[in-house]
Structure formats: structure tokens, C-alpha cells
Structure 1
């Protein structure tokens, strides 16, 4: 292949947001973070197949989602036992039966893909390689997204991955975010929309401090609340919701 064709392909892959994981130790760590139960796995952004190969070595049934036609074709040729779906991961139709999710998410769509995943109801755990700051912030809580989804999911940061572990090398480090679906939700699923509207109203409400905001939004006067919405631990949002409903 000429250098001109190779550089054109490299530019196209960068436009797709592809930073391939080349550190085998990190690949093994990602797969090891999945629970040992042999659930089928959906791999998002399979790329060159580094994680795919490790998943197969662990004895799992794999569906690989990849947008790039070159890598989708390569995956089919290299791993005939893998079901390869060529599509944008944001448009992928997740299985209707139980499964796990793993993926090296393009940094540019991390938030939108995370939101999409959280609306799906059939996966039990997700191990996601994202920007380090995103993994850290999701694990620490304090955001509206965390508060809105904490009754149904637990977020855990599982390590920082240096930029040198990727090719091409991104400008920021990666981080591993593990998301688990709670076996016992803190808020009934049937109240999800009402609960999430409540959280949004508080995060965007007016007032000098959380106590005043809650009073303005709900008419309830509560004590012993932290200073601001971001200071309320994610799990405590469910308790606050229960007090005002």
C-alpha cells in the first residue's frame, strides 16, 4: 500500500474517532473486569480486534459492532465465529436477552453513547474505555447524569490508561468505567421519568443552596441538605425523592 493511501485511511479512521488499544495488559484487564458468568458480550467499537480476541479466549460469545468498513471486513475474516455488525454504535439495536457490554468508545461520543446505554434494559454490566476525566467524574458523582441514573446503576472507576496505550495516541489519557445494573433499584422503574424530571428540576432550579432550591421546586422545607445539588451523593437523591413524594 502506498504511503498516500495509508495516510488517507489513517485520516479517515481519525475522523471516526478511532484510537486503537495496543497495550495487551490493558486489554486483559478490561476483559477480566467482566463478571465470570458466561453471558454473551456486545463489543462496541471492535476496531482491529484486540479486545475481540481476548473475549474469545475467555470463552465468550461475541457480537462485535464496528462502523469502519475496513475493520468490519477484517473482523469477519479473522474471527469467523464472531457476529460482526457494521453500524454506528449509537444506532445499534441491543439484544433483547441478557448480555454484557464492553467497548473502547470514541472519545467524541462518550457522553451520548453512555446515555444511550443507560436507556437499554437487557445488559447487566458494561466495561467502557473512555476519557480519564469522564471515568473519574462518573465514579465520583456530582453530575445531573449520575443523579438521574444512580437509582438503577452503580458507576465505578477501574483505572487510568495512559495515552501511550493507544494508536494513534490521543491527547488525553483514557480511563476504565464499569457500570453495573443494580439488582434492587433504589427507585421503582415505573417512576423513572418522574424521578428524572425531579432531578433535572432541582439541578436547574433557582435558589441560594439546595435547601432553597428544593423548597422552590417542591414546596417542601427539608433540613440537613448539602450546599448545592452537586454535593448530594448520587444514592441520596433517591432518599430525597422519597421524602418529597
Structure 2
């Protein structure tokens, strides 16, 4: 899906195994790499690649069209959030367990806050599993390739920061119903027990288990909370 007119961002170039293939396809490749040894290696062997040395979670992303990365598990969530806020297309290799949570639907075993947030920003698609034998040395876990296409039809909420907070607060207790989960996460909204008890009396989807709430359900709850707090 990469065109000769596009700039591709690679997060974690490593020794350049993917980098050298991206060079053939893209107008330009910009790579972010934390390890100074790999930065030197890429600059020496692929001088046309623009290198940014640093932590991909912390550095400001350059202008780019698409992202390709073999993401370490430890930074997968923050990087996906960062890409989502930029509305950028991405193809990522992830730990299989993480990838399954990313694409899970409401009510499924792997459905989580991650699933809902990914669905808010993207239409995530599980492409293929990658066995451990595909790597040298073999890792301890299997991997998977996922495509993230930015959503143009995401629900419009009155306060996006509040939406993120409500989502986090609810999914801490995802096996509880909405009313109980919100009450038990009242500290997110600086409420005492009595205030929270009254607050949740008519919360939308009150009897639904959090793990079954759709993106639209949580957006509706967020706007309700916004109006109640005004």
C-alpha cells in the first residue's frame, strides 16, 4: 500500500531489515531509533534514510504519510495512541496477544480498554499471524501483523479528554456493570461516596457489563457525564 509519493515513518529501524525494503517503495523513509549502534549502522548503509535518535514515545514525530513498525510490546499502546491522534495509517507487527486485544469486539474474551481506544481511532484489521520460527533468534512469543486505517466516522464527543478518562475509569472494573464500575472509579472525578451514589442513578447503560459496551455506548456515557458535570 506504499506509494512512491509517500513519506514512511519506521519506528525502531534496528539493523535495517525492513528499512531497506521501504526505501524501494517510498519517496522517503524517516526512521526513529533509540539504539546508537543501529543509528550509525543505518546512516552508513542507507544514507538516504533520515534518522531520528530517541525514544519514539517521547520524540515529536516528523511529517509522514504512513507508518510501518515492528513494535516492542512495552511501547505498543502509547505509540498506537500517538498515531491515532495524528490520524495516520499504520502497518504494525505486534505481539500476537496484544494484537488480539487490539481487534477484539465488545463481549469477546480479549475485549478491553485497548480494543475500544483502537476502535475509536482506527478500523483495526488483523492481517496474519507470524510464528516464532520466522525470527532469528526465536522469541518466546508469537507475533501478528495488524493494519490500522484511520476512522473518518468516529463518534463526536463533547470533550475528548473526558472520553479518555471515562474509558479508563470504566475499564478498570470491566467485569462490573456500568453503574458499579463508575461508582468504584469515583476518584477519577474527585467524588465522595455520597456524591457518586447519586450521580450514577440514571447513568446510561447502567446494567450493562463494561466489557460489553460499544464505542458508541461509551461516547454516550461520556456526553452524559459532561452534561452532569457542567
Taking structure 2 as the reference length, what is the TM-score of the superposition?
0.75
Counterpart in the other structure of 1:201: 169
Q: Does 1:91 align with 2:73?
A: no
Counterpart in the other structure of 1:12: none
Q: Say if 1:241 and 1:225 are closer, same or farther in 2 by CA, change over 3 A.
A: farther
Q: Deviations over 1:86-107 (max 9, x none)?
A: 2222232102x45211111123
Q: Say if 1:225 and 1:240 are closer, same or farther in 2 by CA, change over 3 A.
A: farther
| Alignment counterpart, residue 34 of structure 2, candidates 63, 67, 71 | 67
Q: Deviations over 1:115-139 (max 9, x none)?
A: 4444x42x52111111001011100
Counterpart in the other structure of 2:76: 110
CA RMSD of aligned residues (A): 3.0
1:9-158 aligned at under 5 Å gives the runs 34=1, 36=3, 38-95=5-62, 97-118=63-84, 120-121=85-86, 123-141=87-105, 142-148=111-117, 150-158=119-127
SS in 2 for 1:93: coil
Unaligned runs of 5+ in 2: 106-110, 184-196
Does structure 2 retain, via aligned residues, the 8 Å contact 1:155–1:178?
yes
Q: Deviations over 1:40-86 (max 9, x none)?
A: 11101111212111111113311011222222112112211110122
How far apart are the structure 1 equivalents of 2:17 and 2:177?
48
Counterpart in the other structure of 1:220: 202
Does structure 1 retain, via aligned residues, the 8 Å contact 2:178–2:206?
no
SS in 2 for 1:49: coil
SS in 2 for 1:237: helix
Q: Which has the higher contact order (CA 8 A, sep 6+)?
A: 1
| Matched residues, number | 207
Q: Say if 1:55 and 1:208 are closer, same or farther in 2 by CA, change over 3 A.
A: closer
Q: Say if 1:90 and 1:242 are closer, same or farther in 2 by CA, change over 3 A.
A: closer
Counterpart in the other structure of 2:188: none
SS in 2 for 1:57: helix
How far apart are the structure 2 equivalents of 1:206 and 1:137?
14
Q: Say if 1:237 and 1:39 are closer, same or farther in 2 by CA, change over 3 A.
A: farther
Q: Say if 1:197 and 1:108 are closer, same or farther in 2 by CA, change over 3 A.
A: closer
Q: Deviations over 1:140-195 (max 9, x none)?
A: 1421233245333322221111111122211001111222221233124x621111
Unaligned runs of 5+ in 1: 1-33
